[in-house]
Each structure stands twice: as C-alpha cells, then as structure tokens.
Amino acid sequence: MRFCLVKVDSSRRSAFEFLPLKMVGTCSIEPYTSDIMKAHLLKKIQQKDVLVGVIGLGYVGLPLAVNFALSGLRVLGFEKDGKKVENVNAGINYIADVEDAELKDVTGKKLLEATLDFSKIADCDALIICVPTPLDKFKKPDLTYVEDSTATVGKYMTKGSFVCLESTTFPTTTEDYIAPILERETGFKKEVDFWVAFSPERVDPGNQNYTTRNTPKILGALSSDGLEIGEALYKHAVESIYPVSSPRVAEMAKILENTYRLVNISLINELALLANQMNIDIWEVIEAAKTKPYGFQAFYPGPGIGGHCIPLDPFYLEYIAAKYHFDLTMIHTAGQIDTLMPHRMMVKVNFALNKVSKPLRGSKILILGVAYKPNIADDRESPALKLIDELVRKGAVVSYSDSFIPVAQTANGHTFDATPLTPEIVANADCVVVATRHSNVNYDMILENAQLIVDLQNVYGGKTTGMEKVVKL
Ligand SMILES: NC(=O)c1ccc[n+]([C@@H]2O[C@H](COP(=O)([O-])OP(=O)(O)OC[C@H]3O[C@@H](n4cnc5c(N)ncnc54)[C@H](O)[C@@H]3O)[C@@H](O)[C@H]2O)c1
C-alpha cells in the first residue's frame, strides 16, 4: 500500500496526510472524499485513537473532558485561564462535580492534558466548545465567547474534524454562527470537509444521582453523517444519546427545559407573596397539591433564581423570537417576577424588623448562604447577593456565612469575607436571613440563638417551638 501527503493549502496541515493513497488508473489520485474522511474518523473513534479537544474547562467542559478521558480517549483541554490549565495538569480539581481521584487518574495517565496553546487544535479530531454564554447588561445574548472560540477552532482545525457546540444558546446559533464562522476561517465546506453538531449540556451542579455520564444527551447535527460521528464519539462519555433531527431542535430543547423552570419557579414565587398576604402557608399548600398523583410537579419558592442557566437562557429565546415577530410574554413576565424578588425580600426583612421596632438602616443582618443553590460553591447570579445589594443600599450592616463561598462579591461591587457561624455571631445579628438551604448548617443552633429569623427556604417548616421569632416567606 502507498501513502500520500495531501495538503489543503500551504499553511494548513491536513489531518489526512497519512491516509492510504487510492490510485485511479495508473497516475491520477482520487481525492479524499467526505465518505473516506468520515470512515477514517469513525474508525479512529471506534479504536479510541481520536484526540478530543474541549474548549473551555469550566463547570461543563471539565466534567465532560474527564468523562471522555475515563473512557480511554485522549483529551486536550483548551482554556484561556492559565490557573485552570496549571491545576488540571497538576491533577488539582476545582469543579465539585468532578471526582478528585478521577481527575488525578486521567491526568496521571496523560489521557487528559490542558493547554493555553490553541495551535494544538490542529492535532484534534473532534472539538467540543463549552464556553460561557452570558447576557450583556441590556439582557441581550452575548455570543462573543462562542464566536471567538469558534473562530480560533476554525483557524487551526484540520479537514475531517467534527465540531460540537455545548454552550446553551438560542435556536439557529449552530447553523447561523458556528458553521459559517468555521467555513470562513477554514475555507472548507461544512458537512463535506468537516461536520457540525449541537449537544446541550444538562448538568445539574451538586446532583448526586445524575451526572454528565448518566444524563441522557440530546444531539442534533447538520447532516446524518455528522449525527453518526457525534453519536459514535459521545457514546464513549455518556450512557445514552437522544438524537434529534437538527441542531435547532437540540438548541430549543435545552431552552425549553430551562424556560419551564424559570416560569414555574417565578409562578410559585409570586403565589408565595400572595399567600403571605392572605395568611396562607405556601409550603403547606405545595405539600397538599403534591398529593395529586398526576399532572402536578412541585416547584418551591425562594428569594429568586440563580446560576448560569435558568435566569439567562430563556432570554436567549426571547431575543431570537423578536426576529420572528414573537413577543414571548410568559418568559418576559417570569423574568419580571424574578428580577423583583430580591427587592421584595428586602421589604420582607424590613417588615420583620419593624415588627420588633427596629429600622432596617443600621441593623445588623446576617445572610445564611449566598450560593445560588444548596451545597454548591457557585454564587453566579445568586439572588442572595442581589438581596445583599438591596439591604446595603437601605443602610443595613450586612455580613454573610457560607462554608462553600469564602469570599462574595455583589454586582454593586461590595466584597465580603464569609463569617464563621457561631452562637455569638448569630446572637449579635438583629436579623438572620436564611437565603440558601445548605445542609451543613445547624439550623437548631440558629433558632436557639437568633433574635429574629427571616426564613426564605422553609428550613423551619414543621417546627412548633421557638417559631415566634421566625418570619417565613
Ligand atoms: N454551569 C452549569 O450548570 C451549566 C449547565 C448546562 C449548560 N451550561 C452552559 O454551558 C456553557 C459553559 O458554562 P460553564 O458553566 O461551564 O461556564 P464556566 O465559566 O464555568 O466555564 C467556561 C470556561 O471557558 C473558558 N473560556 C472562555 N473563553 C474561552 C476561549 N475563547 N477559549 C477557551 N476557553 C475559554 C473560561 O475561562 C471558563 O473556564 C454556557 O453556555 C452555559 O450556559 C452550564
């Protein structure tokens, strides 16, 4: 068998330079068709001989990279943050959903390495983009991370590569942004020279039962070839794949999941405010409604919605809907309710202090929990931080305790160090506000020592003694 070097252009190294050369007649060369490249890539995937590039090693990218590596695939993580690169290469874990021992294992075996050198994208067969998709200050999608990282992939990517976006975004992003940027940067043709797909990450940080590996993975590609390659690849990292007909279906499915949560949590938050006015315990109402064996799923109220997904993703859909002359009123209204929740919680604290003849201004308020949900070290978009800003604006003297978050910074630029949770510190506060329900907190100790408690998480639900000092949501 003979081998031939195929170069795409003078500057770009082709992934197929060492493919077996097919001879037609005696002297002409049959070009490497899409079919040949696909067969080659599938074979490499099957033989675990692929190099998977993961762009962005955060909450989504690192667990995914570790899962691919655990299955025996070689993974190269591309990350802009040098500290994360250093940590990964030293086997030091910084994401709670990743097992320390697993990261150490795969980095020790050199199955997973991280790099700041993006030119190594040229060595990868598959590239998975896991970069942030925030909203800008006008609540509009900020796709710059996605666009920049895709352009970088395109700058170095070789022919015959598979590219998959995992960042949450509005439907049509893969078709209208990812594929065109890659075509522009490479000069290659999509679904002929490379394949493009979208597969949303559905990780639920802190969830002990469902992880990246055992959560079904939705996958939509621009072509049946891309879908086949994507399925073959992801099979190594996840237990089940749910293929759909296009990237836009996969993109929309992810946003549907998070919109469903935004709308329902906002609904129960609004009902909680009404119930309070009507002297009805919303928590008791939810328990009662839950006895219906069908057609009802319980959502629980709180000070607002946090995290990098639910408060943001639905507004990606609202943005693109406008292009189709759609006003997504449900999302808009849910967003309004959510935006107002921290303010309303500040009013609740003010009201609780009034009952004991204290003003909000000058009162010492201890916030319990600033992570956006229980038992995780993530305070992105946390409503507790927004509540802190509201309280500080009204002149309260705020401190917080959260064993998961040693330092907290609010949007208004206030920085706090976490305070330890001792009986003295609790007793010294004019009001303790339970904002996040961490399970490592001794709530009985707080009930015993606090002067006044605003319980936004129903941690004292079912308690009968000592409740005169507790104001519930
Ligand atoms: N965190 C979650 O629970 C979750 C769940 C599902 C989906 N998502 C989605 O996944 C995407 C990533 O979210 P995340 O939580 O992992 O974000 P993250 O901020 O934790 O991680 C993103 C990483 O990408 C890096 N990065 C940014 N630009 C880069 C570039 N050009 N090249 C290389 N690295 C770059 C950042 O330094 C960071 O480490 C977002 O679209 C998010 O909406 C997040």
pLDDT score at 14: 52
pLDDT for position 346: 98
**pLDDT of 17:** 47
Please report the pLDDT score of residue 31 as a whole number.
63
**For residue 21, what pLDDT is reported?**
40
Q: Which of 245, 263, 292 is the last residue of a domain?
A: 245
Burial of 127 (0-12, 13-18, 19+ CB in 10 A): buried
In angstroms, the CA 7 to CA 291 distance is: 66
> Can you tell me the distance from the alpha carbon of 182 to that of 165, in angstroms, rounded to the nearest whole number?
12
Strands (E), 213-285: 217-221, 241-244
For residues 229 and 288, state if they share a domain. no
pLDDT in the model for residue 206: 83
Tell me, yes or no, whether 238 and 288 share the same domain.
Answer: no
Query: Which ligand 1 atom sits nearest the alpha carbon of residue 148?
Result: 31
Same domain, 405 and 278: yes
Residue 163 lies in a domain: yes
Residue-wise pLDDT tens digits, 306-318: 998 999 999 999 9
**Contacts for 435 with CB less than 8 Å, ≥ 6 apart:** 302, 303, 345, 367, 368, 369, 370, 383, 384, 387, 456, 457
Q: Are residues 67 and 185 in the same domain?
A: yes
Catalytic residues: 309
Segments in 51-120 forming alpha helices (H): 61-70, 82-89, 100-108
Range of the domain at 341: 271-472
**Which CATH number fits the domain that encloses residue 177?**
3.40.50.720
133 lines ligand 1 (CB under 6 A): yes
Amino acid residing at 267: L
Q: Which of 93, 95, 98, 131 to mutate to test the pocket of ligand 1 (most atoms within 8 A of CB)?
A: 131
Asked if residue 240 and residue 275 are part of one domain, the reply reads no
Backbone angles phi, psi at 237, to 5 degrees: -105, -25
Q: Which of 315, 303, 289 is nearest to 347 (CA)?
A: 303
DSSP-H helix ranges across 324-470? 329-355, 383-393, 423-428, 443-449
CA 454 to chain centre: 29
pLDDT of residue 16: 53
CA distance 17 to 6: 5
* Residue 182 and residue 41 share a domain: yes
Instruction: Give me the residues of the chain with pLDDT under 70, please.
Output: 1-31
Give the position, in ligand 1's atom list, of the atom nearest the Cα of 61.
16
Amino acid at 376: I
Q: Do 185 and 324 have their domain in common? A: no
Does ligand 1 lie within 6 Å of residue 310's CB atom? Answer: no
Ligand 1 centroid from CA 108, angstroms: 24
Residue 155 in contact with ligand 1 by CB distance below 6 A? no
Residue 251 belongs to a domain: no
Looking at the structure, do residues 189 and 281 belong to the same domain, yes or no? no
Angle (CA) 405-408-414 rounded to 5° is 170
Please give the model's pTM, rounded to 2 decimal places.
0.90
Domains held by the chain: number: 2
**CA 232/CA 180 separation, integer angstroms:** 24
Q: Are 462 and 396 in contact (CB under 8 A)?
A: no
Domain assignment of residue 255, yes or no: no
